[in-house]
Amino acid sequence: MVKTVLVTGSSRGLGATIARTLASEGYQVVINYNSSKEQAENLVAEIGHEQAIAIKADVTNRQEVDHLITESTKHFGQIDVVVNNALVNFKFDPVQQKAFVDLSWEDYQQQIDGTLKAAFNIVQSVAPQFIERKQGAVISIGTNLFQNPVVPYHEYTTAKAGLIGFTRNIAAELGQYGVTANVVSGGLLKTTDASSVTTPEVFDLIAQSTPLKKVTTPQDVANMVSFLASDKAKGITGQNYTVDGGLTMN
């Protein structure tokens, strides 16, 4: 049976790489976007209109998320996997990043909404069909900065840390229905739109600090997402997998 995956924020960057990877493995893909309509439609054309669809939704808006889940389900029949990937208004810029004393709570709230509220909206909206069918997978994108804040991106990292707690509670409650929930925490990715302003010095520092002597790529993270979406990972839930070339070790 062909499975359907919804990847939030997948018109570009890491999300697009995840969408391409899963499509190449036979998944039907829902490409969610908020403002990048042209890029989303181009990705649909690249994957193929029979296998992919693009749907606009602000994942911090519950009504729009409910519409996204409803339309995705109507189009492909059901949703089997959701990937919480969307990143809301954040750039990995070590030069422009505000010092802690200059941050406002609104800075934190924006990232908490973009990470936690978005995941809450997606998972709560899709959960009834997961529970009814007694299967489903939730995969959320975290960060290794939670363990090793090489650059103190305070508001972003704090929100992602909360995502791990959210995921483990989902895993604990929905496991009885055959639903798995895991986090994939990449290192700084070379290169996505969000990391395009990262200085070469930071990339070099990270590469030289890892056992593999390389910076993590979007494809590295997409490969782990692919594994967790597959039937091979049905016995895995509540975990945070770090994909960063060994920079942080658990």
Catalytic machinery residues: 156
187 and 14 Cβ atoms separated by less than 8 Å: no
Helices (H), 77-179: 105-112, 118-133, 154-174
In this structure, are strands 81-84 and 136-143 parallel, antiparallel, or unpaired? parallel
Task: Tell the burial category of 18 from Cβ atoms under 10 Å away from its Cβ (0-12, 13-18, 19+).
Answer: buried
CB atoms within 10 A of CB 200: 7
If we measure between CA atoms, which residue out of 181, 196, 176, 190 comes closest to residue 228? Answer: 181
The span from the CA of 52 to the CA of 144, in Å, is 30
The span from the CA of 194 to the CA of 185, in Å, is 15
In this structure, are strands 28-33 and 136-143 parallel, antiparallel, or unpaired? unpaired
